[in-house]
Structure 1
Amino acid sequence: MIYQYKFEKILTIKEKEKSDARTAYNEALKNFEQVAEKLYKLLKKKEELLDYQQVKLTSGLSVQEIRHNQLFMGNLERLIEQCQKDVIEARYRMNLQQERLKEKNIEVKKYEKIKEKDFQKFLEVVKEAENKQMDEISIQQFLSKG
């Protein structure tokens, strides 16, 4: 007797969906990390600019340099604001993909559990059939001796 799981094709499909969900999550995670790294670099640049301005203000700064720094700071703050929005969006997508991956993982586990229980039933049926066969052999041997 050969074991054949009745939901094998469904399990295969669910495992494929889980694999696809894992790939999508990994891509979303990578994207989030890239955007977060960009934001970090922009914030670091802003901090360095503020430090530079503080040093220059104590030693003296021309009006032209002040305007230039203010313009640069304004552009930098707009970039930071946009990047923060991108980080929030990337985090949202990453969390969404993570939830999808969890759902797919649960589905696969359900089908694996069903398969496990089904296999146990199969083993019980096989054992029962073997026991019946042994009983029949014993009865035939008893009758042939008697």
Structure 2
Amino acid sequence: MIYQYKFDKILTIKENEKNDVLVKYNETIKKFEEVAEKLYKLLKKKEDLLQFQQEKLTQGLTVQEIRHNQQFMDNLENIIMHNQKEVIKARQAMNTQQSKLMEKNIEVKKYEKIKEKDFQKFLEEIKEVENKDMDEISIRQFLSKG
């Protein structure tokens, strides 16, 4: 007897779906890391600019330089706010894909568990058939000697 799992095609489909979701999840992680890195660099730039401005204020600045620096800081703040929104979107996308991945993983595990139980049942059936065959052979030998 050859073992054939009745849901083998479904299991294969579910594994493929899980792998597709895993690829998408890894892409969202990469996107999140890129956006977060960009935000980090902008925040670092803002911090450096504030420190630079403090140093320049102690040395003395013209009104024009102060206005220029403030305008640059305002623009930087707008860019930072925009990037923060993108980081939030990327995090949400990553969390959504993670949830989908967990669901697909659970589905695959269910089918694998069913397959495992089905295979154990198959082995038990083979063992029963072998035992019946052995009993039959024993009875025939006993009857042929008797």
Normalised-by-shorter TM-score class? over 0.9
Q: Any unmatched runs of 5+ in structure 1?
A: none
**Alignment size in residue pairs:** 146
Identify the residue that residue 26 of structure 1 maps to in structure 2: 26
Deviation of 1:108 after TM superposition, in Å, equals 0.2
**How well do the aligned residues superpose, as a CA RMSD in angstroms?**
0.4
TM-score, normalization by structure 1: 0.99
Mapping for residues 1-146 of structure 1, pairs under 5 Å? 1-146=1-146
Amino acid across the alignment from 2:45: K
CA–CA separation in structure 2 for the residues paired with 1:28 and 1:76: 26
* Deviation per residue, 1:15-41 (Å, 9 max, x gap): 000000110100000000000000000
Amino acid across the alignment from 1:132: K
Q: Any unmatched runs of 5+ in structure 2?
A: none
Secondary structure of residue in 2 paired with 1:2: coil
Deviation of 1:53 after TM superposition, in Å, equals 0.3
Report sequence identity in percent: 75
CA–CA separation in structure 1 for the residues paired with 2:133 and 2:82: 76
Deviation of 1:63 after TM superposition, in Å, equals 1.4
Amino acid across the alignment from 1:120: Q
Runs ≥4 in structure 1, deviation > 2 angstroms? none
* Deviation per residue, 1:46-95 (Å, 9 max, x gap): 00000000000000011121111011101100000000000000000000
TM-score, normalization by structure 2: 0.99
